[in-house]
Structure 1
Amino acid sequence: MIRILVYLAIALAALAPSIAHAERVRDLGQFQGVRSNQLTGYGIVVGLAGTGDDNLEYLTLAMKGVSGRMGLQLPPGVSPGLKNAAAVMVTAELPAFSKPGQRIDVTVSTIGKAKSLRGGALIMTPLYGADGQIYAMAQGNLAVGGLGIAANDGSKLTVNVPTVGRISDGASVERGVATGFEHGDVVRYNLFNADFLTASRVRDAINARLPGMATIEDGVTVAIRLPPGADTRASLMAVIEMIEVEPAETPARVIVNSRTGTVVINSAVRIAPAAISHGKLTVRIDEEPRVIQPGPFSEGVTAVEQNSEIALEEDGNAVALFEPGASLAGIVDALNLLGTSPSDLVAILEALKQAGALKAEMVVI
């Protein structure tokens, strides 16, 4: 299977440089201000089958507050039993141009010792934006994909994550976020990744369709002069989003995941002339002491004679030579012939980088 994957990577790398692909403007970036906003809130899930937070103090205070809002005042010193309730954090994403009355999905996660949210219902919870204003109200029954059970002897079984649930269309939007895209003289388009060549190609493609409207502000932003008015701007922005542009080739990068040993090399990576010798030196020492008995009727004593055997093995003593400008196909092919493991591959790439032969940025995650 590994050999098949390596051959597939080599084949794809060999084909990659010859394939010209175009992408829509909408897939390369987005218009400034036309974005989603994050919402958060603190709430309580009730109706749990004994898997809640029990008598945690912050949950007790929250339940007293909820009871007070509903006109029920608990006697002083009385703490409600809360095994059927859990304190949770509620998160949601408010899409651009959301209007009051629209519905959005919410995610509910425990913040205490609750074992499971299965079967619970979220009490009406306000969701706040970064400015501290309420933008939505969440409430509803949770859909939990996980399962957690426990027996009397202490044994437990957990499937997936039962402490996180989701409510589809669980929040109602109460306030919209003004984008201001219909006002001003300029609408700014921002690339997801900074690149001067891609920005210039986006400008040229827009000007070919709408002459003289686009200019470059920096490696990310293209300023587009559009006439005022929401209807006119929306129509022109729809046209601009569907324009196809051939983006610039991505920078040469080698991505290394130090936790899993995964190494990803993109097709732009090149190697300067270099030779690599990769091998493993193994030294094995075997100790087999022998007991020596004295002869009969002699004055000798029993002794232990040391018997040691030392063996040295060196595997993988091949040398790989990279020609000038070697591409991804050559790199993968040569390192595969050396029989390198993922951890060895990381060490080889780091050595090539230090030697100045690896023409790429190394990113360790």
Structure 2
Amino acid sequence: MPHRLFRSCLAAAIGAVLTLSSLPPLQAAPARIKDIVDVEGIRENQLVGYGLVVGLNGTGDSLNNSPFTKQSLQAMLERLGVNTQGENVRTANVAAVMVTANLPPFGTQGSRMDVSVAALGDADSLQGGTLLVTPLLGADGEVYALAQGPVSINGFKAEGNAASVISGVPTTGRISSGALIEREIEFHLGSQTSLRLALRNPDLTTSRRIALAINDFIGVPTAVPEDPATVRLNLPRHFNGNIVDLLTDIEQLIVQTDQAAKIVIDENSGIIVMGKDVRVSSVAVAQSNLTVTIAENPEVVQPNPLSFGQTAVEPNTNLNVNQSDTALQVVQESVTLQQLVDGLNALGISPRDLIAILQAIKATGALQAEIEVM
């Protein structure tokens, strides 16, 4: 693109940006209280266990390369009355696995939950395998559930002498309702007179709005915003019900959420996610593109007749450098980042160049937002 035409396109794009700056700002989406807070005491607990999957069709661990699988297999057989000490156990139908699960809140003894299974050794696939009884432990070392059952996987592996194909991850699987809860976590929610609501996206304004919405609905001071992430909820003295009734009444209340101006950048993939309240102060922006093209065209050189020479290959490199500059443009104050990005996108600027421009604007102090690089 000629330099004058490129400069004209940039001026037109920036002009379009300044025209869009007169549009009213977008409003945050309203949300129910139950969708933006977590209630104290209502939470999952992570469990983990080590077990064996048997019944694999030759796709299990090789015992020579996985000594823990061999030791676990021998220990299991000894508990069942089979002595294999000193024997050369050779089987490819067993795999050592890690079993994980999330104990649901208020899970009662005898109820079931799903578990995930992942191979620990060099097994090729868990297809067709069955998990043997595996205790699932919590962070305190206590057993809270027992897992067992056939493993379902989403992938497969097939191979021949000269080719193989793998779809998905055949060394991970899931057992639906594969664990029985054996121990309950004691927490009596209905007997509480005070608890905390934890905001999933901490914000001072949202915390105060939640408290005001609850107090307006109940009619008495019931909720107190303690910090950007916490709202204290107290059971009114003459409330007709317990804390569960109070939570049921307020969880459907609609609150206008708020959020800080923030930009999240993933430099590896070139993804940019920005908040609605990001603003750009007056700043001048210029961007330069440097393109270097290198082409290798080796030439074959033949010797002269009767010279007893040898055919040779000589390198031939074509190097081309193309640099296009944009004129320095001024972006007026109060232009939103979305409008600035729209104008820059109109010029075909790549996401990585856009990331560099945003970071440079932030370095000058003209970008009124927080940048988080993933």
- State whether TM-score is above 0.5: yes
Q: State TM-score, norm by structure 2.
A: 0.82
Distance in 1 (alpha carbons) for counterparts of 2:114 and 2:132: 15
The equivalent residue for 1:187 is: 195
Indicate if the aligned counterparts of 2:28 and 2:257 stay in contact, CA closer than 8 A.
Answer: no
Of 57, 73, 77 in structure 1, the residue corresponding to residue 67 of structure 2 is 57
Of 47, 66, 72 in structure 1, the residue corresponding to residue 76 of structure 2 is 66
Of 80, 84, 103 in structure 1, the residue corresponding to residue 89 of structure 2 is 80
Deviation of 1:176 after TM superposition, in Å, equals 1.3
Distance in 2 (alpha carbons) for counterparts of 1:123 and 1:25: 43
Of 24, 32, 36 in structure 1, the residue corresponding to residue 40 of structure 2 is 32
- Secondary structure in 2 matching 1:182: helix
Deviation of 1:75 after TM superposition, in Å, equals 3.6
- Matching of residues 72-151 of structure 1 within 5 Å: 72-151=81-160
Judged with a 3 Å threshold, the aligned counterparts in structure 2 of structure 1 residues 79 and 348 are, in CA distance, closer, same or farther, namely same
Deviation of 1:282 after TM superposition, in Å, equals 4.9
Any unmatched runs of 5+ in structure 2? Answer: 1-16, 298-316
Of 223, 241, 245 in structure 1, the residue corresponding to residue 255 of structure 2 is 245
Distance in 1 (alpha carbons) for counterparts of 2:190 and 2:88: 54
For residues 42-78 of structure 1, give each alpha carbon's deviation from its aligned partner in whole angstroms, at most 9, with x where no partner exists: 01000001000021211111112222232x2224201
Indicate if the aligned counterparts of 2:21 and 2:334 stay in contact, CA closer than 8 A.
Answer: no
The equivalent residue for 1:47 is: 55
- Secondary structure in 1 matching 2:227: coil
Judged with a 3 Å threshold, the aligned counterparts in structure 2 of structure 1 residues 282 and 243 are, in CA distance, closer, same or farther, namely closer
Deviation of 1:318 after TM superposition, in Å, equals 4.1
Judged with a 3 Å threshold, the aligned counterparts in structure 2 of structure 1 residues 284 and 163 are, in CA distance, closer, same or farther, namely closer
- Matching of residues 1-365 of structure 1 within 5 Å: 17-19=25-27, 21-55=29-63, 56-70=66-80, 72-153=81-162, 155-210=163-218, 211-226=220-235, 232-248=242-258, 250-282=259-291, 313-365=322-374
Deviation of 1:316 after TM superposition, in Å, equals 4.6
Distance in 2 (alpha carbons) for counterparts of 1:99 and 1:281: 65
- Secondary structure in 2 matching 1:130: coil
Judged with a 3 Å threshold, the aligned counterparts in structure 2 of structure 1 residues 171 and 60 are, in CA distance, closer, same or farther, namely same
Judged with a 3 Å threshold, the aligned counterparts in structure 2 of structure 1 residues 337 and 112 are, in CA distance, closer, same or farther, namely same
- Supply the AA of the counterpart residue of 1:177: I
Greater alpha carbon shift after TM alignment, 143-152 vs 156-165: 143-152
Judged with a 3 Å threshold, the aligned counterparts in structure 2 of structure 1 residues 13 and 49 are, in CA distance, closer, same or farther, namely farther
Higher relative contact order (CA 8 A, sep 6+): 2
The equivalent residue for 2:303 is: none
Deviation of 1:232 after TM superposition, in Å, equals 2.1
Q: State TM-score, norm by structure 1.
A: 0.84
Judged with a 3 Å threshold, the aligned counterparts in structure 2 of structure 1 residues 170 and 75 are, in CA distance, closer, same or farther, namely closer
Indicate if the aligned counterparts of 1:34 and 1:179 stay in contact, CA closer than 8 A.
Answer: no
Judged with a 3 Å threshold, the aligned counterparts in structure 2 of structure 1 residues 186 and 151 are, in CA distance, closer, same or farther, namely same
Any unmatched runs of 5+ in structure 1? Answer: 1-9, 289-307
Indicate if the aligned counterparts of 2:51 and 2:133 stay in contact, CA closer than 8 A.
Answer: yes
- Secondary structure in 1 matching 2:189: coil
Equivalenced residues, count: 332
